[in-house]
Every structure is written in structure tokens, then in C-alpha cells.
A = this chain, B = another copy of it.
Amino acid sequence: MKSEKPKKTVSVDKSPEVIKTDYYTFAEPPDGIMLDLGKSFGPVTVVYETYGVLNDKKDNAILVLHALSGDAHAAGFREGDFRLGWWDNMIGPGKAFDTDKYFIICSNALGGCMGSTGPSSKNPDNGNRYGLDFPMITIKDMVTVQKKLIDHLGIKRLLSIAGGSMGGMQALQWVASYPDRILSAIPIATGLKHSPQQIAFNEVGRQAIMADPEWKGGNYYEKGQPARGLALARMIGHITYMSDESMENKFSRKLRNEDFNLSFNPDFEVEGYLHYQGDDFVKRFDANTYLYMTKAIDYFDLSGEESLIPLGERPDTKFLVISFKSDWLYPPYQSREIVKRLKSRGIDTTYCEIDSSYGHDAFLVEIKEQEHLVKHFLNKVYAGNNG
């Protein structure tokens, strides 16, 4: 017998309300900010979004850090835009980063192309886009800019900093640069340094862009992106973001067309997927930013004995380190190296290797396990600070 009882209405939308984008500009010349490589640079604009409410004590703020292709739009919808933030499944009321309790900040990294100053920004000296006149930057410079933003927001100490991949490197750099300004850190799917294999994958991506004649030495803004090169770089990247197993589960050897004709067109679904991802990327990401950011990542190295935490120091920062079993781009052994370093300094560290088949992408899609870990960890840190 069919039940006549009306179905229970469940609200699945637990995202924050429509998000506003804020800008902060500082370091006007001739002051500028001092870059890691010794040059002064400015002005710098940083675009950021916030979710939740900063409490009166300003002790509930969490800075979330994006990966290579991310931006300041981490959660919810922006006005007039139907694209959900890149970590929306982790940020919102009741979610891992619970906006009912915490104030979440996400900014576009220095060198980016999503609102913060980067190679596609206009150089105020001459009105032209920077292109390759943009200075070489490092992960440390990205963190220097984020710290300026935190100062601007009047936050003395962040409850936590969290990010995956390049975001995880920034989290570690915060520990190295401003240990007194953070209570805890959550580096996810990352490592203390970029390995030669990781450098190699970035280098073939850069070569794909720079080999495209439309790149024109980085001076392409009048005519348009080096589309084929940038798409190819993204295709290479996407292979490394998935695992052998997740590709098999998603595509196997399925063909795009039943009546295929063996040819040099993409015959297999996996090829079609990569082409789609590559072409889509060209519409939203700047090729020069790809070059600058991958170089910054390649130069990242906090593996020296004194680099992450100077000998003799023991900051009270608490750590949650997360890796994913099938992530072969940032394999779990690299996260274990972080943990080993932290534990050797007597630092309160929780480590979890999540049994996922999604490869490096897991930090964006394995929500259930991460939510559980992050919620519990933040509760502990927040209670410890307010107990």
C-alpha cells in the first residue's frame, strides 16, 4: 500500500548566503612589500571573501588557502554568479568549517588572476599588464600578503589556517613565518618540499604554455591567451590529480562514440574529459599566473632542519595533517615527513591518511572523513583557547 504521508522536506542548502567580495590595497610605492627574493614591490591588491561572523574577541577566524587553480571564492554563491565556491562542501553552517561558529576568510594568492595582483594586472607605472615584468614570487610572498590582510582585519591570532596542495604549503609557510599569529594549522595533501617528480610535472606544463607561439613571451594580453598551451598544461595537471583507480572507475576504456573511427581525434572518454577540462581552464585562468605559481611551488622547500621551526623553539601551534592513500602527486609519505618533523619537536600533531581512491583530488571531494576530522580538531583548539 502506497503511503499517503507527505514526504518530509529536507533543506539541503546549508551554504552561506550570497557572498560579497572585498578588496584591500596596500604597499603603495615607493614602500611596497619586501619580496622573498629581495625586491620591493607594490601596490598590492588582495581580493577576499569572508563567511560567518567575526566575534568580538576576534578569536574565531580561520584562513583558508587555495590551491594552484583556486581563488578567493571558497564557499556559497557570489552575486550574479552561479558558481559554488571551491570548498563549499567544507564551509558553511554545520559543515567542517562551521560558519555558525567560525569566521572564515579566503583570499586570492599574490600572483593570481582572480582579483589579486598578478602578472595579468595593470602595472601602474605604464598602464600595461605586467606580463613577465611581474616579479618572481615565492610561497613566502603569498603568506606575507595574507598576513597584511589579517592585520588589516584586526585579527591578532588566527584560530587556524587550512589548505590542500599549494594551500597546504602556504599553511606550512605560516608556521615558519608567523608562528605567533596562529593557534593551529591543517596542511592537507602536501609536503615539506617539492620533489623532482613534482617539479618535472610543473615544468612540462610550463613548457606547454611557453612553446605556444601565442604566448609571445608573456605579452599576449592584447590578442588573447596561448589557449592550446594552457589547455595542454591543464590536461597534464588533471592526469596527476586523479589516480589510476579513479580514472579506471570513471572512464575505463569507454569510447566517446560507438561508431568510432581510429583516428588522432580523442576517441576515448578519458581523452574527451581532459580536453574539456583543458578548454574550460583557458576561459578562467591566466597562462602567466600558471607559470608564476608553479615556479613558486617548485621553489618551496621547508625541509631544512631549521626551516619549519627553528631548533630550540616549540610553538604551541596544534596540527592536523591529512593525506590520501591514492594521492600519487603528493603521496602520504610526504605528509608523514611533516608529521615526523613536528613530532620530533614535541608538537601536538594529529595525522590521518584517508583511504580514498580519488588521488590528489580527494582533498576537494572526500568530505565526510575530512569534515569529521576538521570539526573535532577545531572544537578542541577553540575549547583549549576558551577553556
- Which of B211, B253, B298 touches A228 (beta carbons < 8 Å)? B211
Is A291 an interface position by the 8 A CB rule? Answer: yes
| Residue numbers in B under 8 Å from A138 (CB-CB) | 262
Contact between A196 and B247 (Cβ–Cβ < 8 Å)?
Answer: yes
Please report the C-alpha to C-alpha distance between residue A299 and residue B270 in the assembled complex, in whole angstroms. 13
Query: What count of chain A residues pass the 8 Å CB interface test?
Result: 52
Is A17 an interface position by the 8 A CB rule? Answer: no
Please report the C-alpha to C-alpha distance between residue A3 and residue B212 in the assembled complex, in whole angstroms. 64
- Which of B274, B301, B328 touches A204 (beta carbons < 8 Å)? B274
Is A251 an interface position by the 8 A CB rule? Answer: yes
- Which of B37, B228, B264 touches A206 (beta carbons < 8 Å)? B264
Is A366 an interface position by the 8 A CB rule? Answer: no
Is A181 an interface position by the 8 A CB rule? Answer: no
Contact between B244 and A195 (Cβ–Cβ < 8 Å)?
Answer: yes
What copy number does this chain have within its complex? 2
| Residue numbers in B under 8 Å from A194 (CB-CB) | 253
Contact between A252 and B196 (Cβ–Cβ < 8 Å)?
Answer: yes
Please report the C-alpha to C-alpha distance between residue A244 and residue B269 in the assembled complex, in whole angstroms. 28
Is A41 an interface position by the 8 A CB rule? Answer: no
Contact between B200 and A274 (Cβ–Cβ < 8 Å)?
Answer: yes
For the complex of A and B, 8 pairs with smallest distance between CB atoms: A196-B270, A196-B247, A211-B228, A196-B251, A136-B262, A203-B271, A197-B244, A200-B239
A selection of 20 A-B contacts at a CB cut-off of 8 Å is A136-B263, A196-B247, A196-B248, A196-B250, A197-B247, A197-B248, A200-B235, A200-B247, A203-B235, A203-B271, A204-B235, A207-B228, A207-B235, A208-B211, A211-B211, A211-B232, A213-B213, A236-B236, A268-B298, A328-B328
